Amino acid sequence: MAENPETVLEIDLNALAHNYAVLRSRIRPETRLLGVVKAFAYGSEAKAIARKLEALGADYLAVAYTSEGVFLRKAGIRLPILVLHPQPDGMADIIETCLEPSLYSPRIFQEFLKTAQAMKQKRYPVHLKFNTGLNRLGFRAHDLDWIGSQLRATDALEVRSLFSHLAASDDLDEREFTLGQLKAFEGIVKNWEYPFESRPFNHLLNTSGVFNYPGAQWDMVRTGIGLYGYSNDPETDSLLKPVSRLRTRISQIHKIKAGEWVGYNKGYQSEGLRVTATLPIGHADGIGRHYGQGKGRVYIQGKPAPIIGNVCMDMTMVDISDIACKEGDEVVFFGDGISAEGLASRANTISYELLTGISQRVPRVISGA
Ligand SMILES: *Cc1c(COP(=O)(O)O)cnc(C)c1O
């Protein structure tokens, strides 16, 4: 990598430590904390984030897919890793690398059981996911009898935890719906009859759940976005620090006369004398076309510069008419003081999508390890 690359995603592990402490302060000391590191740790850098979470004392990690967990094991991560969405063809990899699968349907349960038996496993730790209203993944309450009969017939599996996922924990207008989910989960826990002696632990809350429904923290919480500095709420956002900062540098400056066009398909026409800057970052880096046409804006010397015309694959043009700056100057998309949620919402999306979309072409520079 060049020593001083133009476009960089800076990852601040001290900010991660800060957010971890804030989230810890919101739960009971005995409640476990699972750090969600799926999708390259929300588009940051999975290895560095997982290592830091391990050092900070996280109890668990979670990834979406098996390959993400295998990657972390190869990087030397030793914490228990929950695989939220395993697929049938990766079951042996799960066992070989000591990952813990979420079993969310009869098909996946049987696929994993078959593999565990073939690999002569005894009481291999698994987690059972229940659908309480999100209607995405999970068993139903009425599957409990079937699950019980399967478990009584084998000693290959041991249920480590029961869990579910909230659909609208960030939206207080949907309080009643969420309380219904809490109740449904409570019912599942109550009706669980464990065929062995040890009791599985239970978990339900994501980041917004921790802030809005702390009474439902059960034995563990699963936090993702909060660790990275966002919480879906402006008030709690102010307690957190963004882990990622996306910055680039001005490649070239143009003076544009009235009536001139900028970018592909004449995406922007100047109404008067304007000054524009071309930036070496585009939709291939994760700044989608929906940020174009004035929706998104970047910051130069702390001042906003709107994105003009269409975002190109490798470049973006911004209007810098009101900013005194020169070629080579730093340009910030998001980071400390400039909210990724703010930029995302200007283009009708959310911080999760903007953060996880920053492509692997953008070098990651890590500090605070
Ligand atoms: C992604 C995910 C989380 C983390 O949610 P945040 O809102 O980022 O805290 C928790 N649980 C499950 C099942 C998930 O898929």
One digit per residue, the tens of pLDDT, for the chain of length 369 reads 667 889 999 999 999 999 999 999 999 999 999 999 999 999 999 999 999 999 999 999 999 999 999 999 999 999 999 999 999 999 999 999 999 999 999 999 999 999 999 999 999 999 999 999 999 999 999 999 999 999 999 999 999 999 999 999 999 999 999 999 999 999 999 999 866 667 899 999 999 999 999 999 999 999 999 999 999 898 999 999 999 999 999 999 999 999 999 999 999 999 999 999 999 999 999 999 999 999 999 999 999 999 999 999 999 999 999 999 999 999 999 998 999 999 999 999 999 999 999 999 999 999 997
Q: Of ligand 1's atoms, which has the minimum distance to the CA of residue 163?
A: 13
Radius of gyration of the chain (CA): 23
> Rounded to whole angstroms, how far apart are CA atoms 186 and 205?
13
pLDDT at site 195: 63
Residue 92 vs residues 66, 89, 119, 121: alpha-carbon distances, Å: 10, 8, 8, 11
Q: Which atom of ligand 1 is nearest to the CA of 169?
A: 7
- How many angstroms separate the most distant Cα atoms in the chain? 78
* Same fold? 31-228, 244-367: no
Q: What is the pLDDT of residue 180?
A: 98
Ligand 1 probe mutation, 19, 222, 350, 354, most atoms within 8 A of CB: 222
pLDDT for res 196: 61
- Sheet arrangement for strand 316-319: 252-256, 274-279, 316-319, 303-308, 297-300, 330-334, 244-249, 8-12, 364-367
pTM: 0.97
Q: Where are the domains of the chain?
A: 31-228, 244-367
Residue 194's pLDDT is 65
In angstroms, the CA 51 to CA 78 distance is 9
DSSP character string of 247-262: EEE--EEEEE-TT-EE
165 lines ligand 1 (CB under 6 A): yes
Is there an atom of ligand 1 within 6 Å of 33 CB?
A: no
Q: Which one is the CATH code of 31-228: 3.40.470.10, 3.40.190.10, 3.40.30.10, 3.20.20.10?
A: 3.20.20.10
Question: What confidence score (pLDDT) does residue 197 get?
Answer: 62
Burial letters for 312-333: b for 16+ Cβ neighbours within 10 Å, e otherwise? beebbbbbbeebebeeeeebbb
| Predicted pLDDT at 106 | 98
Cβ(36) – ligand 1 distance below 6 Å: yes
Q: Going by CA atoms, what residue is nearest to atom 4 of ligand 1?
A: 224
Atom of ligand 1 nearest to the CA of 228: 8
C-beta neighbour count of 193 within 10 angstroms: 10
**Class of domain 244-367 (CATH, top level):** mainly beta
